[in-house]
Amino acid sequence: MLLALPLLFVAAPIPPDVSRHLVGGALTDGVAYARLRDLTDTIGPRLSGSPGAEAAVQWALKALQQDGLAARREPVKVPHWVRGEESGEILPSPGIVGHRLALTALGNSVGGNATAEVVEARSLAEVASLGPSAQGKIVFFNHMMQAPEDYGRLVEMRSHGPSAAARLGAVAVLIRSLATASLRSPHTGMTSYDADAGRIPAAAVSTEDADLLHRLLQRGPVRVRLSLGCRMLPDADSANVVADVRGRERPEEVVLISAHLDSWDLATGANDDGAGVAMVMEAGRLIASLPRPPRRTLRVVLFMNEENGLAGGKAYAASHQAELAKHVAALEADGGAARPTAVRLRAGDGGVAMLAPWIAPLETFGLHLENGEAGGADIGPLEPASVPLVRVQTDGTHYFDTHHSAADTLDKIDPEELAKNAAAVAVVAYALAEMPETLPRPPRQAPRDTQPASRPPAH
């Protein structure tokens, strides 16, 4: 078809020397994995406000500057929550000797002690139906998470369960960990207190302990003692790290690739989101080391406070508001470092056809471009400005095995898959920064049922 020919010339693919540099560099230099190892081994946990978070900011600035990017810190005030000592037990009662519980406070929970009978609920809807029977009790949210896909549907129990229980006069909340594997491992995550409800202590229990509570409740009343030493300190000074490779022709047009630098405190955050940090830093390094920079500016952003407040994502959108119309695409790598499975785009009509030829260098990895959800928590605040969103999708089968638990550590990362993800991010980012025209911008997204706009998203 002759009509197709001009299109082929318009959408000139990435020059072979560039794709070899990007993919070959990601797969052979070993830099992404070495950086992830540095970040997790020498810094470790990076919860907002902690010494680790500040060390991570310094580390990233230095590394990005070494790579030749113009890197700076952009200030962000962040919640400063600390965990403290925590413990819980099923108390002895007639016929029951008692059990220690494997639990961990939910992020942003108030601390406190509670000793009370347990009442079980299977959903937010069900807790409301408990009515006065929840008064003075510890509400135990149980559920049937079986697969990664269940997370989005069930996470509302963690986010909003404590407020729902508090409205009924409950004294504390336990929630079954949102997890697809467990060796008695509690998985934390942010909870959000509604302004109109009391604040009660809330903790995740391991799936094994949830099963035990459920079985014991079939026998009769169960009393639990809970002690959470966590507390919220005054907001702390922190920062996003922002680093540019200045575009050679249209420097005011920005392709933003990002990840979040903060992690939960229980582990070193290798998958969540050290891996994403390593990927986008690597894409930045490889693009900065090309003989000729791409047409547009490539911007690497390492957000602070994705896990328990999104202060970094909100601060970026606010302080760069005037430039968002020139943000031509945004990517967040925050799905772990397992095998990349697709590249997803959310843009206006025709976007996929425009971008697809440019990611041909990823075909060997089985990666193709598809329309779909492509957002990320930190780049969510860019959606109202209709910034096209792109994502390298990864195999999520085992993501929730370790997510937000003490087991999110470097040994869970496959260096080869991490390298392939970094290569994919580099190619996609280069394509977006180099293609002659910018992508059509998507329509503004309607608020989702499961995540009302009035509530902060849960991660």
Show which residues are catalytic.
Answer: 306
Q: Which residue has the tokens 């470097």?
A: 410
Rounded Cα gap, residues 193 and 110, in angstroms: 10
Q: Are 147 and 253 in contact (CB under 8 A)?
A: no
Q: How far apart are CB 266 and a second copy at their closest, in Å?
A: 8
Q: Which stretch binds a second copy (CB under 8 A): 38-46, 128-136, 162-170, 328-336?
A: 38-46
CA 260 to chain centre: 7
91 binds a second copy per the rule CB under 8 A: no
H/E element, 148: none
Task: For residue 8, give the DSSP letter.
Answer: H
Q: Which of 99, 225, 231, 441 binds a second copy (CB under 8 A)?
A: 99
Token pair belonging to 36: 């992830």
Q: 35-74: b or e for each residue (b if 16 or more CB lie within 10 Å)? A: bbbebbeebbbbbbbbebbbebbebbbebbeebebebebb
215 binds a second copy per the rule CB under 8 A: yes
Count of alpha carbons within 13 angstroms of residue 350, beta-carbon side: 7
Complex with a second copy: residue 52 or 247, whichever CB lies closer: 52
262 binds a second copy per the rule CB under 8 A: no
Beta strands in 381-459 (DSSP E): 389-394
Query: For residue 389, what are the contacts with CB-CB under 8 A and spacing of at least 6?
Result: 329, 330, 331, 345, 346, 347, 374, 375, 376, 379, 382, 383, 442
217 binds a second copy per the rule CB under 8 A: no
- Dihedral of alpha carbons 147, 152, 154, 157, sign: positive
The β-bridge relationship of strands 223-228 and 112-121 is antiparallel
Complex with a second copy: residue 59 or 193, whichever CB lies closer: 59
Q: Which of 20, 184, 448, 455 binds a second copy (CB under 8 A)?
A: 184
274 binds a second copy per the rule CB under 8 A: no
Stretch 383-442 residues interacting with a second copy (CB under 8 A): 401-402, 405-407, 409-411
Helices and strands (H and E) in the chain: how many: 13, 16
Q: Which stretch binds a second copy (CB under 8 A): 96-104, 113-121, 323-331, 413-421?
A: 96-104
183 binds a second copy per the rule CB under 8 A: yes
User: Shortest CA distance to 214 belongs to which of 224, 222, 204?
Assistant: 222
Q: Which of 11, 55, 128, 290 binds a second copy (CB under 8 A)?
A: 55
Binding mask 299-328 for a second copy (x = CB under 8 A): ------------------------------
Query: For residue 404, what are the contacts with CB-CB under 8 A and spacing of at least 6?
Result: 178, 187, 188, 189, 264, 266, 272
Q: How far apart are CB 71 and a second copy at their closest, in Å?
A: 20
360 binds a second copy per the rule CB under 8 A: no
Complex with a second copy: residue 296 or 412, whichever CB lies closer: 412
51 binds a second copy per the rule CB under 8 A: yes
135 binds a second copy per the rule CB under 8 A: no
Residue at 411: amino acid letter? D
Q: Which of 268, 271, 393, 421 binds a second copy (CB under 8 A)?
A: 268
Q: How far apart are CB 151 and a second copy at their closest, in Å?
A: 17
Token pair belonging to 399: 């993501």
Token pair belonging to 42: 């020498």
Please measure the distance between the N-terminal and C-terminal CA atoms of the chain and give it in whole angstroms. Answer: 48
Q: Which of 3, 16, 28, 95 binds a second copy (CB under 8 A)?
A: 95
Q: How far apart are CB 410 and a second copy at their closest, in Å?
A: 7
CA 379 to chain centre: 11
Residue at 147: amino acid letter? A
Q: Which stretch binds a second copy (CB under 8 A): 27-35, 40-48, 164-172, 315-323?
A: 40-48
Task: Give how many residues touch a second copy by CB under 8 A.
Answer: 37
Complex with a second copy: residue 228 or 369, whichever CB lies closer: 228
Token pair belonging to 235: 């907001």
Complex with a second copy: residue 184 or 455, whichever CB lies closer: 184
Q: Which of 10, 17, 42, 149 binds a second copy (CB under 8 A)?
A: 42
Q: How far apart are CB 352 and a second copy at their closest, in Å?
A: 39
450 binds a second copy per the rule CB under 8 A: no
Q: Which stretch binds a second copy (CB under 8 A): 42-50, 225-233, 281-289, 333-341?
A: 42-50
Q: How far apart are CB 42 and a second copy at their closest, in Å?
A: 5
How many Cβ atoms from other residues are within 10 Å of residue 279's Cβ? Answer: 33
Question: Which alpha helices (H) appear in 67-206, and where do they start and end?
Answer: 124-130, 151-167
H/E element, 96: none
Q: Which stretch binds a second copy (CB under 8 A): 90-98, 158-166, 333-341, 364-372?
A: 90-98
Q: Which of 14, 35, 44, 106 binds a second copy (CB under 8 A)?
A: 44
Contact footprint for a second copy (CB under 8 A): 37, 41-45, 51-52, 55, 95-99, 102, 181-185, 207-208, 211-212, 215-216, 219, 267-268, 401-402, 405-407, 409-411
